[in-house]
A and B are shown apart, each in its own frame.
Chain A
Amino acid sequence: MNLHLYIDYGPVLLQGVVFTLLSSAGALVIGLLWGLLLCLLGQVNNRLLRLFYQLYLTVFRGTPLLVQIYLVFYGGPFIGIELSALQVGIGGLGLYSAAYFAEILRSGFLSVPPGQIEAARDLGLSRWQVLSQVKLPQMLGLVLPAILNQTILLVKESAILSIITVPEMMSAASRMSSETFTFIEPYLFLGLTYWLITFLLARSVRLLEGTRAATSLDCEDTACKT
């Protein structure tokens, strides 16, 4: 181990970490918002919208992220789509994750008992109020572990962006490796940093779950009965 390398490549690696965090965060925001919108569109009683939802899932879940990103980044310019590597990276990762987030959220919506929604509508709550007051607060606790899982995958998948020249962690480590002919130092750093990011992510979600559990939101089977 040559620890001196970390000082020489400190700025490069740090930039890599920043770009990884930036593209993951951007993709997460896009993925969650677009995923929620997709999921809501898929629930509308309209055949075209539901078909669109199914089609979206088929395309984005059925093909590798790498292929999607290659197509847009290298194929895009041929059909007039010229985007920067970072734009394609964040957008691609976001659109790809949205398909998974949409399905996670859909399972959350299914978990809210229809009677509660019926009662809300009966008392005069609008569709939006039913969503924001009855559905979302209850399902978020339930889908949080699955959302976390998908977010961890998203952070690790962001390594793929190195292939389209986004200067994120993977690409920084590769550069360090090829320039210094070392392997242990760069990839050990890489592995540990990915682990640290996902560990902190998991911890913060755990804390969030803890505060939610403290307010006792979940309906235990036995307690729900008369």
Chain B
Amino acid sequence: MQNVGKPVIKLINVTKRFGDNSVLKGISLDVHAGEVVCIIGGSGSGKSTLLRCVDFLESYDSGEVLVEGRLIGYGSDPAGNLTRLPDWVIQKDLANVVMVFQQFNLWPHKTVLENVMAPLVLVTRMNKTEAKTKALAVLDKVGMAHKADAYPNTLSGGQQQRVAIARALAREPKIMLFDEPTSALDPELVGEVLKVMRTLADDGMTMVVVTHEMGFAAQVADKVVFLANGMIEEQGAPATLFTAPQSPLLKSFLATWAERNVGFFG
């Protein structure tokens, strides 16, 4: 991966606290177009918060989040002070960014097809026939077209997550954020979701993935970022990061992970 041109996501010294708890302590990170960046780390390391700050589902306290060169969430008022932008402006600035959630967050009162169509009809003002064609195409891409008329609660978790990915994909994003997309799934369902994500990566989608799937990170990521205590402890290509970790925290994190799996592979 050649990192030519400006990064599509640029974080500069981003901080975030919840009350007394400092969750992000100055994160700087570049993501270039077409890159797949996996964020790993223990629970409470701030990895989900980091991802949510990129999409401004969480506001950040200081630093800068730049997406496609635009500062997200804040703007200068006439007096030159930084103020929070209205929600609709933030939504417009983030039109090319979508998030896939751990809990899928499909709308249970809409069918699979309606879930995918709704944002097209409501946000991009596509007419219904066009939206339906488009929705069926993306559902086909994730292998869910045959369930178009089903309600989400009749689907398995893996199927629901694939529909959620289709719903996000239909918006034709340039950047996709994944917040632990397989953590709520039964183990046997993880594979089908990762397979879809791999296809997206192969198609050149820019992806930032918070995950516990080290195998996916090792095979698909261009860059792996290890977060600990709200800071980037180590980052690099998966080949070097997984085989020759430098920081003691990453070493122990990977050791714990290997230990948990060693008995299994035996």
Contacts and interface: CB of A to CB of B under 8 A. Distances in A.
Interface of A: 113, 115-116, 118-127, 129, 133-134, 137-138, 216-220, 223-226
Contact of A125 (B55, B99, B123, B157): B123
A118 B105 contact: yes
Contacts of B95: 124
Given A115-B103, A116-B105, A118-B105, A123 B98 contact: yes
16 contacts: A113-B103, A115-B101, A119-B107, A119-B164, A121-B57, A122-B94, A123-B98, A123-B171, A124-B91, A124-B95, A125-B118, A126-B88, A133-B122, A137-B109, A216-B153, A224-B153
B184 interface: yes
Given A121-B91, A123-B167, A225 B57 contact: no
Contacts of B94: 122
What secondary structure prevails in chain A residues at the interface with B? helix
Interface string B89-115: 001001100110101011111000000
Given A118-B57, A123-B171, A226-B160, 4 more contacts: A120-B107, A129-B123, A137-B109, A226-B157
Nearest to A130: B122
Nearest to B90: A121
B26 interface: no
Contact of A217 (B87, B108, B118, B186): B108
Interface in B138-170: 151, 153-154, 156-158, 160, 164, 167-168
A122 B55 contact: yes
A186 B85 CA distance: 65
Interface of B: 55, 57, 87-88, 91, 94-95, 98-99, 101, 103, 105-109, 118-119, 122-124, 151, 153-154, 156-158, 160, 164, 167-168, 171, 184-186, 189
A124 B119 contact: yes
A118 B100 CA distance: 11
A123 B119 contact: yes
A125 B108 contact: no
A57 B105 CA distance: 33
A220 B108 CA distance: 10
A124 B168 CA distance: 11
Contacts of B88: 126
A119 B171 CA distance: 13
Nearest to A127: B87
B30 to A, nearest CB: 23
Contact of B87 (A121, A219, A223): A121
A133 B186 contact: no
A116 B107 CA distance: 6
B164 to A, nearest CB: 8
Contacts of A137: 109
Contacts of B186: 226
Nearest to A138: B109
B238 to A, nearest CB: 27
Contacts of B124: 124
B153 A219 contact: yes
Contacts of A126: 88, 122
B132 to A, nearest CB: 17
Given A134-B107, A219-B108, A122 B189 contact: no
A193 B119 CA distance: 48
Given A121-B87, A127-B87, A138-B109, A226 B156 contact: yes
